[in-house]
């Protein structure tokens, strides 16, 4: 039977491998590592990268925490008092060039002392400028990962991502979506080994996908107009993470390390009052594509 220690060790190795691939693709910046401990039990390794050739700021975090499940989480899950163990890897990368997209990934495992367990996670892409060719490439890669395990996964998990990564107060998606899933195991009639195999392939797909975009788009020229738009789109990213993201809330509610939880935020962002892009501009065309249910694949 697959154990939480085996899952934890694989996530640690995933963090190692992704950091190596990103450093190689960036060619300049190196990751800084901080070890931290959670007062209630467990801890993690936060690795951050900054001022690179391609990556302006990013983080690849690993954590394995345990303890008494907070009351608000028990209430949300309709469970009696029980302990928990949670481990996973979470990544956000903010690039220098506005033509390189922001990317986020999270893969995680959660179990309780009452025997309940599940996997969750996903990958989503947030371009500052939506390139249709890049969007198709991204979604086709994710569809292939999903189809290797269950032909129903991509359709379900893409819709879940569209609905989850939606900035309700702006009526726009955070980016072009991707896949998002949660409670696989608690609500999925498959073995832990089968579901972990899927989660591993999702995690392993991250570095090849993002380094492709790094190499492809890093040398595209840009000016002040594109940088200003990048800052505005980063502002939308901040709004989603601080207002709507459940992972941010879970980390803060369980006493996680604040610096590690908020490493997903960009180094700079702008909020211009009532900003509207010019009609038929690249910026306006991007806004038109920040919608749910676009069939990119």
| Active centre residues (catalytic) | 104
Nearest to 108 by CA among 237, 14, 208: 14
Nearest to 121 by CA among 252, 246, 256: 246
Which H or E element spans position 187? Answer: none
Q: Measured in Å, how far apart are the chain's first and last C-alpha atoms?
A: 36
Q: How many CA atoms lie within 13 A of 278 on its CB side?
A: 3
Nearest to 257 by CA among 87, 68, 38: 38
Nearest to 88 by CA among 114, 71, 58, 111: 111
What residues form DSSP beta bridges with 62? 45, 89
Nearest to 32 by CA among 17, 45, 14: 45
The first and second tokens of residue 181, run together, are: 């899933």
Question: 251 by DSSP, 3-state: which?
Answer: helix
Contact (CB, 8 A) for 23 and 31: yes
Distance CA 29, CA 39 (A): 32
Nearest to 99 by CA among 51, 133, 124: 133
């Amino acid at each position: 039977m697959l154990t939480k220690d085996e899952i934890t060790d694989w996530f640690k190795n995933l963090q190692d491998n992704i950091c190596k691939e990103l450093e190689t693709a960036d060619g300049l910046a190196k990751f800084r590592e901080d070890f931290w401990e959670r007062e209630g039990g467990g801890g993690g390794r936060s690795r951050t990268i900054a001022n690179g050739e391609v990556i302006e700021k990013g983080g690849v975090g690993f954590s394995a925490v345990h303890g008494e499940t907070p009351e608000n989480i028990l209430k949300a899950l309709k469970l009696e008092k029980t302990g928990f163990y949670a481990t996973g890897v979470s990544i956000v990368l903010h690039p220098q060039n506005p033509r390189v997209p922001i990317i986020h990934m999270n893969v995680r495992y959660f179990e309780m002392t009452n025997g309940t367990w599940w996997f969750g996670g996903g990958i989503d892409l947030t371009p500052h400028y939506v390139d249709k060719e890049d969007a198709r490439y991204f979604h086709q890669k994710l569809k292939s990962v999903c189809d290797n395990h269950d032909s129903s996964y991509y359709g379900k998990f893409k819709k879940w991502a569209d609905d989850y990564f939606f900035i309700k107060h702006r009526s726009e998606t955070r980016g072009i979506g991707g896949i998002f899933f949660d409670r696989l195991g608690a609500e999925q009639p498959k073995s832990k080994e089968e579901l972990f195999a899927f989660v591993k392939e999702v995690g392993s797909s991250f570095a090849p996908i993002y380094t492709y975009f790094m190499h492809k788009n890093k040398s595209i020229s840009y000016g002040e107009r594109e940088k200003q738009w990048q800052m505005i789109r980063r502002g939308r990213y901040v709004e989603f993470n601080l207002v709507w993201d459940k992972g941010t809330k879970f980390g803060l509610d369980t006493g996680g390390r604040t610096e590690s939880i908020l490493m997903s935020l960009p180094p700079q962002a702008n909020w211009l009052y009532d900003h509207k892009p010019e009609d038929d501009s690249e910026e306006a065309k991007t806004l038109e594509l920040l919608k749910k249910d676009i069939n990119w694949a």
